[in-house]
Each structure stands twice: as structure tokens, then as C-alpha cells.
Amino acid sequence: MPVLNSVAALTEEIAAWRRDFHLHPELDYDVHRTAGVVAEKLKAFGCDEVVAGIGRTGVVGVIRGRLPGDKVIGMRADMDALPIEEASGKPWSSTVPGKMHACGHDGHTAMLLGAARYLAETRNFAGTAVVIFQPAEEGGGGGKAMVEDGLMDRFGVQEVYGMHNMPGLPVGHFATRTGPLMAAADRFTIEIEGRGGHAARPHDSIDTVVIASQIVQALQTIVARNVDPLECAVLSTTYMRAGDAFNVLPQTAELRGTVRTFKPAVQDMIERRMGEIAHGVATMHGATARLVYVRGYPPTLNHAAQTAFAAQVAASVSGADAVNTEAAPVMGAEDFSYMLEARPGAFVFVGNGATAGLHHPAYDFDDSLIPVGVSYWARLVETAMPAA
């Protein structure tokens, strides 16, 4: 792979940073140690500006090229870990019980730090590079918080790019697409109230367990029978809670789950049908049901020109044969979507090889990916804002 020679020489040092982050995982916005290390390194690299506390605990570094230029490119990495007990068996396994970097954000942060060091040392571009280190990607909406805190306007970002590792894709290979790459992620709760009673006298009760079970089954007809077969959607009920005893029919039951879609019209229809089904099934049995539907991250929608450019840069690092520009959309979600709503840009996947899957307790970031990722970021800046 034609990675930058100076980047290859830094690989072991960057890997050491990555493993340090892995040893000390932090969740959500509570990434104070990680953000502190990031800010300290950015200052040591000689960034022109280092600003902490963007979007609560985000960090931004500004690097100006050796020649003036009007263009400003933003590059984002996420810093937070997951509430998972690690089972990777690595020497650098998490030292914090119940927390681990099971999604590779340690690697993302280390790679963007490596690119920041290279860009601050060489400055072989005309314009401004903005490195963005975001908290709370795993459900906390840190990307939205940073945008709402003025990220784009304050630092003059004109285009923004993101990258995520992907297990199963060969190390150094890239995958992306124009348009919807990742889904919107919504969550729901359905609260059911019937009439509790003795399990031996069901005729005197309104059985919320039976009602909840029928609602779960009926919800599956929405994707199967209401969504256009040419569209994509997922509706999964992931939680059912009712009762505490073997001989009592519970007064209440609760269902929870997630909905994934790509288009607002499909999202609207699913929410409407869920309410109708929950109400209808409950009413049929003489019970009541209330749907609480919370819209989460919007779909990750890549912009055409920036996606083509990102693919061009990826090909310059790994070769054209290692870049898939027609990757299948992923039903997972990503709050980089908020940044893509604020500015044109692109999100790419880069191969992590034959590792355990994301969010798995045995997952670990493949450090052989580091020079590829760092070179991608460096070439993206130098290609977008050439100094010659």
C-alpha cells in the first residue's frame, strides 16, 4: 500500500497511543481523560489553535497550511467507548470494569491524531485543516452537540469527512457510496395497561402478557406488508417486561425496541402504523396502550461530489481495486449524520480485517490499519488544498 513514508515511521508510536486509549475507555460525554490527552498532543504538535469543550467535551485542532488558502476541511474522529465487559484477551485490554473500546473509536482517535501530527509538521497544503474529536457517538448525539455548539461556523468548516473501521472488510480496503450509507435510528416504548389478577382466574383479568405478545407479532407486519419491498426498514422489539410472580397476571407490560429507516416518509408511516397497531390490539382486549416514539440519529447521507473525492483519495492510498464506491447501505446508525446535514461531506468505511464484529466483547482494532487511515487523512487534506 502506498502509504506515506513518514506516516509509516510513526505507526508504532500511534499504536501506543491507541492502546493507551483502549486501556482507559470512557463513555458518552464523560471522556475527560481521552479529551485531555488529545488536547495535550495537539498542542505539542504545534496546532495553530486547540479548543476544548466544544459540544461539552469535544476537542478541535486547527492547522493552517504553509500557503494561504480559503478552503477549510474538517475531519472527525469519535472518542467514546461502550458499556461492555472486554473479552479480547489482549495485553492492552480495558482496565475499567464494564467498559471497553468495542467499536474502534480508540483507533479512530489515534489515526486522526497521527494525521494532525503529520499535517502540523509538514503543512504541505494551502488552506486550513480542522481535526474534530467528538464525544458521545454511541447514542449520546455528540455530533449534534458539537454542531449546535457552533463547530462549523466557529472554525469555518466548508466540507467535513468521517471514517469508521469495518470488520470483515480486508485491512486497507475502503467502502462508501453516494446517498444513504447508514440508517436513521429511532427507539420506541409501548406501555400496556390491562387488569391484573390471579393467574388461575384469567376471566377476571385483562392479560397484558398476551396483549404484549400479540402486539410484538403484529408489529412485524409493518415492514412485511406496509413498507414498499424496494425500500429498506427494520423494526425490532428488543425488550419485554411484565410481571414478577408465576401466579399473578400483571397489570402492566412494557415493550421497547428500535426502528431503522432511510427515508422520512417510511419513518413517518412506521411510526403511525405502530401507534395504530398498539392501540388496536389493546382495545380489542379491553386494555390500553401508549406508544412513545423517539427519533434518534438521522440517516447518514453522503454528498455526491465529496464522496467521489473521498474515493479518489482512498484509491491513492490503497489502489483503485481496494475501493468500493457502491457499498450496500448499513442499517446501523452514526451521528456523523448531523455534520453531513450541516456541511457537504462524506463518510467512508475502512477495512479492519478478520476481527470480531463491532460491539462484540472480543473486538479489537487492527493496528496494521493505522498507516492506511493516517495516510488517507493526510492525502485528503493535501489533495483538496494543494500547495503547488
Which domains, from first to last, does the chain contain?
5-183+299-384 (3.40.630.10), 186-294 (3.30.70.360)
The CA distance from 120 to 314, in Å, is 21
pLDDT on residue 339: 98
In the chain, % of residues over pLDDT 70 = 100
**Mean pLDDT across the stretch 180-186?**
97
Q: Cell digits for 196? A: 391484573
pLDDT on residue 261: 98
Q: Is the pLDDT of residue 6 over 90?
A: no
**Mean pLDDT across the stretch 325-343?**
97
10 Å Cβ neighbour count for 80? 27
The CA distance from 84 to 361, in Å, is 6
- CA of 284: how far to CAs of 54, 248, 277, 336, in Å? 51, 22, 10, 43
Query: 3 pLDDT band (50/70/90 cuts)?
Result: confident
Q: Is the pLDDT of residue 2 over 80?
A: no
**Mean pLDDT across the stretch 5-25?**
94
**Mean pLDDT across the stretch 314-332?**
96
How far is CA 100 from its chain centroid?
A: 16
Q: Is the pLDDT of residue 61 over 60?
A: yes
pLDDT in tens, 152-163: 999 999 999 999
Determine contact, residues 304/182, Cβ cutoff 8 Å: no
Q: Is the pLDDT of residue 164 over 90?
A: yes
pLDDT in tens, 19-52: 999 999 999 999 999 999 999 999 999 999 999 9
Q: Is the pLDDT of residue 240 over 80?
A: yes
CA angle, 309 then 313 then 315, to 5°: 115
pLDDT on residue 311: 98
How far is CA 32 from its chain centroid?
A: 20
Residue 328 class from Cβ within 10 Å (0-12 exposed, 13-18 middle, 19+ buried)? exposed
Query: 388 pLDDT band (50/70/90 cuts)?
Result: confident
Looking up cell 466544544, which residue turns up? Answer: 54
Q: What residues contact residue 252 under an 8 Å CB cut-off, 6+ apart?
A: 191, 192, 193, 194, 196, 208, 242
Query: 78 pLDDT band (50/70/90 cuts)?
Result: very high
Residue 13 class from Cβ within 10 Å (0-12 exposed, 13-18 middle, 19+ buried)? middle
CA angle, 375 then 132 then 138, to 5°: 105
Q: Is the pLDDT of residue 206 over 80?
A: yes
If you average pLDDT over every residue of the chain, what do you get?
97
Category of 60 on φ-ψ map: left (φ > 0), alpha (ψ -120 to 50) or beta = beta
Q: Is the pLDDT of residue 5 over 90?
A: no
Q: Is the pLDDT of residue 291 over 80?
A: yes
Q: Is the pLDDT of residue 212 over 90?
A: yes
Query: 8 pLDDT band (50/70/90 cuts)?
Result: confident
